[in-house]
Amino acid sequence: MSSPSRPPATGAGRTPRSALAELLAGNRRFVSGRPVHGHDVTAAAAVASGDQQPYAVLLGCIDSRVPLEAIFDQTFGSICVIRTGAHVLDRAVCGSIEYVVHQLGVPLVMVLGHERCGAVGSAVEALRTGQRPDGSLGYIVDQIAPAVAEVGADDPRAHPLAVRRHVLRTVAALRADDLLAGPVAEGRIDVVGALYELATGDVTLLDR
């Protein structure tokens, strides 16, 4: 069996479509057990990455079961990664995405949710019981709550439905961002949503 060809590490001037294709190809390598990079986290690999020229920025959850570089089989310097509880947006996250799009020329933003998300589960529980968590966790729950309300907190499938809805709401918010809306409308960048399946490792794109 021939070994998989090594994909380009970076992508200055890449289109949103080609950036997305490369991400999904990496996920297929990961799922098939034939990664190119395979958790190569040595110092030598870091040094070999050279200048920073990423082709995508991924916004995902902090869940320890969803390491973004691994599930897309990416190496040092190829993607920018931002992780918050249930990929919740704040000004720092939006500013970081604006930076990589405008300063580094990244053409693709992906929002990645995942099944059995604990933060979404907390939001579902809060709406069902009327008991909002204290502290900053309450802020995260507040940001997810509209997605839960849209699908109905009392729906037996509220948790998986809210995971999907929250991804789509995050995508919509980023596409409407003051500094991203113009490049999106011109087709220079794209913002897409996807779901990661813990049981299989597959990433599935969500229709807007």
DSSP code string of the chain: -PPPPPPPS--TT--HHHHHHHHHHHHHHHHHT--SSTT---HHHHHHT-S---SEEEEE---TT--HHHHTT--TTSEEEEE-GGG---HHHHHHHHHHHHTS---EEEEEEETT-HHHHHHHHHHHHT-PPSHHHHHHHHHHHHHHHHH-TTSTTHHHHHHHHHHHHHHHHHHT-TTTHHHHHTTS-EEEEEEE-TTT--EEEEP-
Residue 145 has pLDDT above 90, yes or no: yes
Over residues 8-24, the mean pLDDT reads 79
Over residues 148-167, the mean pLDDT reads 98
Instruction: List Cβ<8 Å contacts ≥24 apart for 33-40.
Output: 34/3, 34/4, 35/70, 35/73, 36/4, 36/6, 36/7, 36/73, 36/75, 37/69, 37/73, 37/74, 37/75, 38/73, 39/70, 40/75
The first and second tokens of residue 126, run together, are 């809060």
Over residues 137-153, the mean pLDDT reads 98
Q: What percent of the chain has pLDDT over 70?
A: 88
- Is the model more confident about 45 or about 3? 45
Over residues 150-165, the mean pLDDT reads 98
- pLDDT for the residue numbered 47: 61
pLDDT band at 24 (very low <50, low <70, confident <90, very high): very high
- Is the model more confident about 76 or about 153? 153
- pTM exceeds 0.85 for this model: yes
Residue 207, amino acid: D
Each residue of 88-100: pLDDT tens digit? 999 999 999 999 9
- pLDDT for the residue numbered 61: 98
111, 170 Cβ separation under 8 angstroms: yes
Beta bridge mates, 56: 79, 108
Average pLDDT, the chain: 90
Over residues 123-135, the mean pLDDT reads 96
Residue 48 has pLDDT above 70, yes or no: no
Residue 46 has pLDDT above 70, yes or no: no
Over residues 159-178, the mean pLDDT reads 98
Over residues 56-80, the mean pLDDT reads 93
